């Protein structure tokens, strides 16, 4: 009797194993292509003023540009008025923090005295930089001789 029970139990295990193997099998099409997510393009805008730093500065600036996900390229143009910048930098971090340095856009020590034309340029982002930019954690900091930073503003992305 116990031999019969053991054989029945073994048969049940074999049947369940076979059923599990067939039940877990995925229906796949030979040569199925993976669908890649769409490559997006963004318009980048930053309004830079005293609100970002709680200063009493009258200076303002606007950064405009484009970000292309495919090439991970950020191109920008920055115009400012009512301020004499000593240094303008791109930074990454939470709102209100000093942030991590990304790129120096302008430095008075390296450039001619005051600029009267827009500052323009581009940079290629690393995967981490791209993630932080898309999360809205990038900002521009404009420093002067008297205050660092005097004005700042967050980069905002709008999908094209």
The pLDDT-based confidence of 50 (bands split at 50, 70, 90) is very high
Question: Is the per-residue pLDDT at 4 higher than 80?
Answer: no
- 64-81 pLDDT, tens digit each: 999 999 999 999 999 999
pLDDT, position 90: 96
Residue where the block lists tokens 């199925």? 32
pTM for this predicted structure: 0.73
Phi and psi for 6 in degrees, rounded to 5?
Answer: -65, -40
Helix or strand holding residue 20 (H, E) = helix 2-23
Phi-psi region of 27 (alpha: psi -120 to 50; beta: other; left: phi over 0): beta
Question: Is the per-residue pLDDT at 147 higher than 60?
Answer: yes
- 94-144 pLDDT, tens digit each: 877 889 999 999 988 765 555 667 899 999 999 999 999 999 999 999 999
For the chain, give the mean pLDDT.
85
The pLDDT-based confidence of 26 (bands split at 50, 70, 90) is low
Which stretches of the chain are assigned E, i.e. beta strand? Answer: 41-48, 60-68, 73-81, 87-92, 100-107, 119-124, 138-143, 151-154, 156-159
Which is higher by pLDDT, 43 or 13?
A: 43
Contacting residues for 51 by C-beta, under 8 A, at least 6 apart: 153
């Amino acid at each position: 009797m116990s031999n019969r029970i053991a054989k029945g139990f073994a048969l049940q295990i074999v049947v369940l194993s076979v059923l599990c193997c067939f039940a877990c099998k995925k229906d796949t099409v030979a040569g199925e292509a993976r669908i890649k997510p769409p490559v997006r393009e963004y318009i980048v805008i930053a309004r830079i003023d005293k609100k970002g730093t709680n200063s009493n500065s009258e200076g303002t600036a606007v950064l405009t540009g484009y970000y292309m996900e495919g090439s991970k390229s950020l191109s920008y143009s920055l115009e400012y008025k009512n301020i004499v910048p000593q240094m303008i930098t791109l930074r990454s971090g939470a709102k209100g923090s000093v942030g991590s340095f990304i790129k120096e856009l302008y430095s008075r020590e390296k450039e001619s005295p005051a600029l009267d034309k827009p500052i323009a340029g581009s940079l290629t982002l690393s995967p981490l930089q791209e993630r932080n930019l898309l999360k809205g954690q990038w900002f521009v900091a404009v420093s002067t001789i008297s205050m660092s930073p005097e004005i700042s503003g967050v980069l905002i992305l709008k999908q094209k």
